[in-house]
Amino acid sequence: MNQHKATIHDVARIAGVSRATVSRYLNGRKWVSQDAAANIKAAIEQTGYVANSHARALVTGRAGSVAFLLGEPQKLLFEDPNFAALLRAVADELGKRGVSFILMTTDDQSEAKRNLAYLQAGHVDGVIQVAWHKDSSEMLNGLVQAGIPTVIAEQPSDETLPVGYVHVEDYGGARKACEYLHECGAKHIAMIAGPAGPSGTRDRMHGFLDTVATFDDDSNAASRIAHGDYSASSGEVAMAQLLDADPDIDGVFVSSDTMAVGAIKELRTRGLSVPDDIQIIGFDDSSAAMLADPPLTTIRQPFQAIGKHLVDQLMRIINGEQPVGVTLPTELVVRDSTR
């Protein structure tokens, strides 16, 4: 429509001020008179001016973008609906602040190397790392050593690392789940946990054990924990293990909805009904929970809020603040896999 894109120069000319003044106005700095501000505002509207982010980045030394880094073994993570939920939340939040991002996936070792090099080259101001399925400390260390502001969506295994993190109250969520199962009449509860390693797995296991200890008849609930890798098929396998070892199980706390779907499949194969014979409670409240048959009672993770805090944290760190950890609450969502 306009022959050429408007620059700060055009705005300055039309507003009858210098470029420096426009710049000050743009960046909300002091020393811009009411008059000047009004004129500039009008000029901006008239021209439809939008600052050129590259020119700005060049002079400020800030990229104006961050990386969303995915440590994804076995192509598993893209099948994990949680990932999409978090990505979406982060994208929303970033969009609101006008910072763009690049999505990097890390399938193998060599790719991890390439990614690290890219990030170290200063292409982005910071990184949001998600690695729910496996350990990621190597990448994390590389990032920290390069001095790149970083936040992660779990508790760091090494708490002394200067990275921000946000996660949900895993322990509390697990408690909530197990208590509800008990309220619904389950007497002999088992757990399908995620892969050992990430803090979330550990905390949820503690939540399960502590809760079950308060009302269980026997004392070795630990033997009723099986591990999966968050895939549906691993949930199937875990459920089979659990049942083979202890046929009296009448309730299962599953650490992800996807695994819960797998568990239900195994149960159906064995002719067991959910929730009549065995009650199931999932975790995440991902899209899989509603799709499941029966729809899953589950513990909701507030992905929107997680994304918001992740971005918030990262921006703070980029601005020089100390990284902190943020723990968000979970919420019980009752559907039909419990009585």
Q: DSSP secondary structure string, 102-136?
A: EEEEE-SHHHHHHHHHHHHTTSSSEEEEE-SSS--
User: What residue 28 binds from its own copies, DNA, none (CB within 5 to 8 A, per partner kind)?
Assistant: none
Min separation Cβ 262 and its own copies, Å: 8
**In terms of CB distance, is 33 or 214 closer to DNA?**
33
Short-list 197, 240, 239, 205, CA closest to 222: 205
3-state SS record for 84-97: HHHHHHHHHHHHHC
**In terms of CB distance, is 7 or 287 closer to DNA?**
7
Whether omega for the bond prior to residue 275 falls within 30 degrees of 0, making it cis, is: yes
**In terms of CB distance, is 15 or 112 closer to DNA?**
15
Whether omega for the bond prior to residue 294 falls within 30 degrees of 0, making it cis, is: yes
Q: Mapping DSSP to helix (H, G, I), strand (E, B) and coil, where does residue 5 land? A: coil
Using CB under 7 A as the binding rule, whether residue 58 contacts DNA is answered as yes
**How many CB atoms within 10 Å of residue 142?**
18
From the list 57-65, 107-115, 138-146, 242-250, the region that binds DNA by CB under 7 A is 57-65
Joined together, the tokens standing for residue 27 give 């960046």
Rounded distance between C-alpha atoms, residue 90 and residue 69, angstroms: 12
User: What residue 319 binds from DNA, its own copies, none (CB within 5 to 8 A, per partner kind)?
Assistant: none
Of 46-105, which residues contact its own copies (CB under 8 A)? 48, 50, 52-55, 57-58, 63, 65, 78-79, 81, 83-85, 87-88, 91-92, 95, 100-105
Write out the residues near DNA by the rule CB under 7 A. Answer: 4-5, 7-9, 16-24, 26-27, 30-33, 35-36, 49, 51-52, 55-56, 58-61
Write out the residues near its own copies by the rule CB under 8 A. Answer: 1, 5, 48, 50, 52-55, 57-58, 63, 65, 78-79, 81, 83-85, 87-88, 91-92, 95, 100-105, 118, 121-123, 146, 232-233, 258, 261-262, 265, 268, 287-288, 290-291, 293
